[in-house]
Amino acid sequence: MGLLPHLVNGFALGLLFALIALGFMLILGLMEQINLAHGSLFALGAYFAYAIATPRLPLPPDMLQVWAAVPLGWRFTAAMLLAPVLVAPFGVVLERLMRRTYGRDPLYGLLLTFGVAMVIEELIRIVWGTRDYTLPVPRGISGGFMMLDLIWSTYRFWAAGFAIIAMAIVWLVIERTRFGALVKAGAHDSEIVQALGHDLERLRVWVFVLGTMMAAVAGVILAPVWGIRPHMGVDAVIPAFVIIVLGGVGSFWGAVLGGILVGMVVGLSGAYASEWSMLSMYLLLILVVTFRSRGLFGKKSVLEA
């Protein structure tokens, strides 16, 4: 019984890590662009959710009082729905900036998105300050419950379930829709896609928007677990990058499995040797790429050129 809680918590943490990596995987895997601003967009989603749910909205006092009287469950649901929509325009602007880097050395895109990440983080400090915030959770999914004579976090199980649903939706979009087929074709042979009359620029914009919105969704879901602070994006983008490399660039299931493996390793090592919890993630990465340089399910990418 002593090992079971750590395994379950590690698996749930892994699903949340996979959710964080999902938006990163979309842009890197489908467009082969390294988006280091993913973590800052993740943080922005959390801050927008806090502003909606708390509420801290730029509304007239009367309207703000009315919104504050709305039950927390509805405000939390509104935050989950609206925060990704509010972050989406940042994805459009980022794609516009990235256009000059298409077809060039990936280092240009990496440096550009790093600069965008710094700008977004400073904007967060200007608007919300440097203090930490907590995203309130509705009573129905807060607290804990008893199972197998142990107390489990209700919200962590709810968040893990939501992560599974989000991953299923993204998989359906990528693998079972015309949009997903066109995007994947454009990533491998853009000239053919354009010759067939498809607007590749519009497809790329939608990929960035989808990846940005997934970063925001992850920020909303993880905010009650990690807390909200300006540099929380760093805590997100590093595990996301590790997971993508571990699972293999461009592999959806590689990202899912990589997230679960990282969550299990971090959860188990944190339970028995907390000082090794984050280090274990990097040791796992070194172990995997030593024997499989492209990750568990990775395929050849233009980033290797």
User: Which CATH number characterizes residue 73's domain?
Assistant: 1.10.3470
302 pLDDT tier (thresholds 50, 70, 90): very low
Residue 279 has pLDDT above 80, yes or no: yes
Q: How many CB atoms lie within 10 A of CB 87?
A: 28
Residue 58 falls within a domain, yes or no?
yes
Reference 256, options 244, 264, 267, 265; nearest CA is 244
Residue 103 falls within a domain, yes or no?
yes
Residue 145 falls within a domain, yes or no?
no
From CA 69, how far away is CA 58, in angstroms rounded? Answer: 16
For residues 142 and 81, the model is more confident at 81
Q: Count Cβ neighbours within 10 Å for each residue of 190-218 and write b for 16 or more, e otherwise.
A: beebeeeebebeebbbbbbbbbbbbbbbb
Tokens for 112, please give them: 């550009």
72-98 vs 106-128: helix crossing angle, rounded to 10:
140
> Per residue in 72-123, pLDDT tens?
889 999 999 999 999 999 989 998 888 888 777 778 888 899 999 999 999 9
Q: How many CB atoms lie within 10 A of CB 42?
A: 31
Residue ranges making up the domain that contains 161 = 8-139+150-304
Tokens for 239, please give them: 């595990």
Residue 144 falls within a domain, yes or no?
no
Q: How far is CA 291 from CA 167, 168, 296, in A?
A: 28, 30, 9
Residue 116 falls within a domain, yes or no?
yes
Residue 2 falls within a domain, yes or no?
no
Lowest-pLDDT range of 70-84, 181-195, 249-263, 265-279: 181-195
Please tell me which of 106-110, 135-139, 265-269, 293-297 the model is most confident about, judged by mean pLDDT: 135-139
Residue 3 falls within a domain, yes or no?
no
Mean pLDDT of 41-47: 94
For residue 189, give the amino acid letter: D
Tokens 């309207």, located at residue: 63
For residues 28 and 46, the model is more confident at 46
Reference 246, options 291, 303, 188, 210; nearest CA is 291
Residue 1 falls within a domain, yes or no?
no
Residue 225 has pLDDT above 80, yes or no: yes
Domain count, the chain: 1
Strand partners of residue 146: 151
For residues 15 and 274, the model is more confident at 15
191 pLDDT tier (thresholds 50, 70, 90): low
